[in-house]
Amino acid sequence: MMANLLVKETNRAAEFPEKERRGSFQKNLPQQPNHNDHKDGKKLMDKEMVIQALKDSFIKLDPRKMVKNPIMFVVEIGFIITLILSFAPNAFGNSGVEPWFNYTVSLILLFTVLFANFAEAIAEGRGKAQADSLKKSKQEITANLLKGNGKTEKISSTSLKKGDVVMVSQGEMIPGDGEVIEGLASVDESAITGESAPVIKEAGGDFNSVTGGTRVVSDQIKVRITSNSGESFLDRMISLVEGAERQKTPNEIALNTVLTSLTLIFMIVVVTLPFFTNYLGFALEIPILIALLVCLIPTTIGGLLSAIGIAGMDRVTQFNVLAMSGKAVEAAGDINTIILDKTGTITFGNRMASNFIPVSDASQEELHYWTGISSLNDETPEGRSTIELLKEKGSKLNASEAAGGQIIEFKAETRMSGMDLRDGRRVRKGAVDSVKDWVIAQGGTIPADLDEEANEIAREGGTPLAVAVDSRIFGLIYLKDTVKPGMKERFDQLRQMGIKTIMATGDNPLTAATIAKEAGVDEFIAECKPEDKIEVIKYEQSQGKLVAMTGDGTNDAPALAQADVGLAMNSGTTAAKEAANMVDLDSNPTKIIEVVSIGKQLLMTRGALTTFSIANDIAKYFAIIPAMFMLAIPEMTALNIMGLSTPLSAILSALIFNAIIIPMLIPLAMKGIAYKPMSSNALLSRNLTIYGLGGVLVPFIGIKLIDMAVSLFI
C-alpha cells in the first residue's frame, strides 16, 4: 500500500515530481532566533535542594549503590585503600610515603566521589521536588456519580471505575481522568501544567480530555471516567518524575560500557606498572599508583554521566512535556523527519465558517436551511461556528425537522457527518470529494460549478465543505483557517538541523498546497487518512530515518505508537496519550520542535562533556607521569612542561583538579550545552574546538595554579 501511496499520492518532488497529493517546498528562509531558551520556572539549585543533595551524597557512598557506576566505584575503592594506609602505613608492605600524603590523597578521593554523588543527587532532587508538588495536588475527592435514574450519588474518587459518569460543577475538583461528554467549562489545570490561566474544556471538540486533580472554575460538565483508581495520569506523572531508579538510555549504556572498558584497561596498566619499575630499580608506592589510576580513568564524565541523563529528562519536564522514558528524549535528538497535523499545529485550528456558496441552481435560502440541519447536532468548533454564522445572516433553524433523526457522526474514514431524517431524507456535510462520491452512489449528478467554487476556496487557503441532501449537492461552506505566525522560521530552523517536515491534512490538494507553501514545510500529504500517516512513518523508517509526530485523537494512536517519538496532547484522548512516549501538558502541537532541540541538547551535552573529560586527561598525564618517574629517571624532567614544583605537589595538584572540575561542571550538565541549528560537521568542529581544545588547555592552567598554592604548604 505504501508504494501506491507514495507513487500515486505522496512522494517527494525529486523522486516523483508533480504528484497530486504530496508536494515539496524548500526555500531559503530568514534565520529564526534560538528557541533553546525555553521556560524554566525553577532555579537550578535552591537551598533545600542543595542540603538534601549533600545528605544523599553520603548515602550514595554505600558500595551497593556505587557499584552501579564502575568508574566512581574504582575511585571509592582507592579512597578506602588510602584511608587504611593513613592509619596503618605498612598495611600493604613497607611504605616510603609520609603519612600526611596518605591522609591528603584519601581526603581528595573522598571529595571526588562525593562531588560525583552530589551531581547525581542534585539532578534527582529537581524531579523529586516536582513530584512532591504533584503529590500535594493528589488528594481524595468527593465525586458526584451519575446513576441510571438520572440522580447523583456522592462517593469517594478512589471508588470510581473506568466508564463511570460524573457531574462536576463550578468550584469542584475533577475526581479522575476522563472525557467531557456534555457541557462546556473553564478548568484550572495549574496543578498539572503550572499555567495559571484556565482552559476551556468542551464536549465534541479536540479539547474534551480532563485530568483528575484539576478544578472547574465555571459552569458544569458531565465527564466519563477513563482510568481506574491508581492508574490516572497524575499517578503516572508522579512515578515518572520522582523515579531516581530510571532506565538508562541505549546511548548512555553504550558510553558507560566504553568508559568502563577504558577504566579496566588503565587498571591493568597500573597493576602491571610496578613490575616494570622494580626492574628499573625503583618502586612506586600504592598511594601514588592509586593517584595515577584516578587521573588516568575518565572520572569527570563518569561522575557526571548519570546527572546529564536525569537533567535531560528534567529539562523536558520543565518545558511541560512528560517523557515516558529517557530513551524518548534521546531519540528526539536523532529525529530526521517530523510529521505534523495542519489543523492546530501549523494553523490556529479554529476553522470557522466564513461564507456559504450555493452551486448550480440552488438558492442561498436552500443552502442555509440544509446547512443548519446538518450542523444542529455538530458539537465540533466548525459546527458551532456554522450555526453562529447562520444566525448572523438571519437564517431560521428548523430544529423540529431534525428532531428524532439519526445523527451521523464524523469519521476519518468517510470524512462526512450529517443526519438521517425521520422522513427518509439523508443530509450530509463533509469533504467535497467524499460528498461527491456519496451523491454519485445515490444516483445523483455533480453540479458543473462545484469544483470551480471549491478550488477557488482552496486557492485562498480555505477549506470547502459540501452540503448535500440525498442525490443533490446544494453548495459549499467556506471554512477559514490561518497559518500561525513564525512557522516559516521554525521550519527553517528544523531544516538547518537536517530535519524534514511533512504536513498531514485531510484538506484537498489545492488547499494543502496553499497552506504548505505559506507555512514553508518540505512536503505535504493531502486528504490524509489515519492509515496514510502510519504508511508514511513506516516508509521513512524503512529508509533508516527516525520519525516524530504529534497527535491528540484516538485515530492518531496507531501512528503515535509507530513513530519513534510520539508527542500526544494532554487535551487529547486517553488512547493517544497511552500510545505516545511523550505528553505535552500545554497541548501545544508545535512543541515537538522544541522537544527535538532538547533531545539534541542532551546528546550534545553528553558528547561535549565526554570530549572535555578525555581531553583534560592529557594535561593530567603531563602532570603526574613526569612526577612519578623524574626522580629515578632524570631525563623525564623534560616532560615537566608545566614546571610543577615537586613530584608530590604535581600529584596532589592533578588529583585536586580532578576532584574540583566535577562540581564546576555540574551547572553545565544540569542546564545543558546551548544548542544552535547547524550541520553535523559544523557542530562537530565547534565542539572539538570548544570542549576538545578547551579540555586540554583548562587543566594545564588549573593544575599549574593549584601547584603554586600547594607548593606553599609542602
- Rounded to an integer, what distance in angstroms lies between the CA atom of residue 551 and that of residue 456? 29
Q: What pLDDT does 38 receive? A: 39
User: Is 345 annotated for ligand binding?
Assistant: no
**Residue 107: pLDDT band with limits 50, 70, 90:** very high
Do 132 and 246 sit in the same domain of this protein? yes
Cβ–Cβ under 8 Å, residues 395 and 375: no
Is 62 within the bounds of a domain? no
Is 459 within the bounds of a domain? yes
Q: Which residues contact 174 (CB under 8 A, 6 or more apart)?
A: 141, 168, 187, 210, 211, 212, 213, 214, 215, 216, 223
Q: Are strands 472-480 and 337-341 parallel, antiparallel or unpaired?
A: unpaired
- Rounded to an integer, what distance in angstroms lies between the CA atom of residue 667 and that of residue 543? 38
Cβ–Cβ under 8 Å, residues 586 and 195: yes
The half-sphere exposure of 608 on its side-chain side, counting CA atoms within 13 A, is 22
- Give tens-digit pLDDT for 170-186: 888 888 888 888 888 88
Structural domain tally of the chain? 4
Cell numbers that stand for 199 in this block = 482552559
- Rounded to an integer, what distance in angstroms lies between the CA atom of residue 533 and that of residue 555? 10
User: Is 416 annotated for ligand binding?
Assistant: yes
Q: What CATH number is given to the structural domain containing 391?
A: 3.40.1110.10
User: Is 12 annotated for ligand binding?
Assistant: no
User: Is 414 annotated for ligand binding?
Assistant: yes
Cβ–Cβ under 8 Å, residues 488 and 457: no
Do 446 and 508 sit in the same domain of this protein? no
User: Is 556 annotated for ligand binding?
Assistant: yes
Do 296 and 281 sit in the same domain of this protein? yes
Q: What is the mean pLDDT of residues 684-696?
A: 85
Do 197 and 108 sit in the same domain of this protein? no
Cβ–Cβ under 8 Å, residues 522 and 26: yes
Q: Where are any strands of DSSP class E within 301-376?
A: 321-323, 337-341, 352-358
Beta bridge partners of 188: 215
- Rounded to an integer, what distance in angstroms lies between the CA atom of residue 172 and that of residue 183? 15
Do 356 and 453 sit in the same domain of this protein? yes
Cell numbers that stand for 6 in this block = 507514495
Stretch among 18-27, 212-221, 335-344 having the lowest mean pLDDT = 18-27
- Rounded to an integer, what distance in angstroms lies between the CA atom of residue 341 and that of residue 572? 14
Q: What is the mean pLDDT of residues 624-632?
A: 74
Q: What is the mean pLDDT of residues 518-529?
A: 86
For residue 291, what are the CA distances in angstroms to 108, 405, 620, 637?
10, 85, 11, 19
Cell numbers that stand for 588 in this block = 501545544
Q: What is the mean pLDDT of residues 536-561?
A: 86
Which one is predicted more confidently, 356 or 207?
A: 356
Is 40 within the bounds of a domain? no
On the question of pLDDT at 36 being above 70, the answer is no
User: Is 552 annotated for ligand binding?
Assistant: yes
Q: What CATH number is given to the structural domain containing 186?
A: 2.70.150.10
Alpha helix locations (H) across 333-479? 364-375, 381-392, 399-402, 432-441, 450-459
Angle between helices 99-137 and 70-87 (to 10 degrees): 140
Residue 118 C-alpha from the chain's centroid: 26
The DSSP 8-state label assigned to residue 377 in this structure reads T
Mean pLDDT for all residues in the chain: 80
Kindly report the backbone phi and psi dihedral angles of residue 639, in degrees, each rounded to the nearest multiple of 5, phi listed first: -85, -10
Kindly report the backbone phi and psi dihedral angles of residue 658, in degrees, each rounded to the nearest multiple of 5, phi listed first: -60, -35
Q: What is the mean pLDDT of residues 393-414?
A: 81
Is 7 within the bounds of a domain? no
**Residue 233: pLDDT band with limits 50, 70, 90:** low
- Rounded to an integer, what distance in angstroms lies between the CA atom of residue 53 and that of residue 243? 15
- Give tens-digit pLDDT for 559-579: 888 998 888 887 667 777 778
Is 147 within the bounds of a domain? no
* Residue at which a domain ends, from 585, 618, 641: 585
Q: What is the mean pLDDT of residues 136-160?
A: 79
Stretch among 463-477, 536-550, 626-640, 686-700 having the lowest mean pLDDT = 626-640
Do 702 and 685 sit in the same domain of this protein? yes
User: Is 437 annotated for ligand binding?
Assistant: no
Q: Which of 341, 481, 564, 584 is catalytic?
A: 341
Q: What pLDDT does 126 receive? A: 67
On the question of pLDDT at 41 being above 60, the answer is no
* Residue at which a domain ends, from 175, 208, 228: 228
Residue 551 is which amino acid?
G
Do 103 and 240 sit in the same domain of this protein? yes
* Residue at which a domain ends, from 555, 585, 615: 585
Is 15 within the bounds of a domain? no
On the question of pLDDT at 242 being above 80, the answer is no
Q: What is the mean pLDDT of residues 437-453?
A: 91
User: Is 319 annotated for ligand binding?
Assistant: no
User: Is 236 annotated for ligand binding?
Assistant: no
Q: Are strands 582-584 and 463-469 parallel, antiparallel or unpaired?
A: unpaired
Identify which of 336, 237, 240 has the alpha carbon closest to the alpha carbon of residue 565: 336
Cell numbers that stand for 620 in this block = 593530567
**Residue 61: pLDDT band with limits 50, 70, 90:** very high
Do 579 and 493 sit in the same domain of this protein? yes
The DSSP 8-state label assigned to residue 572 in this structure reads S
Alpha helix locations (H) across 553-590? 557-562, 574-579
Cell numbers that stand for 602 in this block = 542532551
Cβ–Cβ under 8 Å, residues 434 and 412: no
Beta bridge partners of 465: 431, 477
Do 649 and 697 sit in the same domain of this protein? yes
Q: What is the mean pLDDT of residues 48-57?
A: 87
Contacts 24+ apart (CB under 8 A), 571-577: 571/199, 571/201, 571/206, 571/207, 571/208, 571/209, 572/206, 572/209, 573/179, 573/209, 574/177, 574/179, 574/209, 574/226, 574/227, 576/551, 576/552, 577/209, 577/233
Cβ–Cβ under 8 Å, residues 580 and 593: no
Do 595 and 709 sit in the same domain of this protein? yes
Q: What is the mean pLDDT of residues 356-361?
A: 91
Cβ–Cβ under 8 Å, residues 527 and 508: yes
Identify which of 617, 628, 648, 656 has the alpha carbon closest to the alpha carbon of residue 109: 656
The domain of 168 spans 161-228
Q: Are strands 500-504 and 337-341 parallel, antiparallel or unpaired?
A: parallel
On the question of pLDDT at 39 being above 80, the answer is no
Is 155 within the bounds of a domain? no
Is 156 within the bounds of a domain? no
Which one is predicted more confidently, 404 or 10?
A: 404
Residues in the chain: 714
Do 595 and 685 sit in the same domain of this protein? yes
User: Is 18 annotated for ligand binding?
Assistant: no
433 catalytic residue (yes or no):
no
User: Is 206 annotated for ligand binding?
Assistant: no
For residue 442, what are the CA distances in angstroms to 425, 438, 468?
12, 7, 11
Do 488 and 571 sit in the same domain of this protein? yes
Residues of the chain with pLDDT > 90: what percent?
A: 16
pTM: 0.64
- Give tens-digit pLDDT for 370-401: 988 888 888 777 888 888 888 888 887 777 87
User: Is 449 annotated for ligand binding?
Assistant: no
**Residue 23: pLDDT band with limits 50, 70, 90:** very low
Q: What pLDDT does 194 receive? A: 57
Q: What pLDDT does 557 receive? A: 83
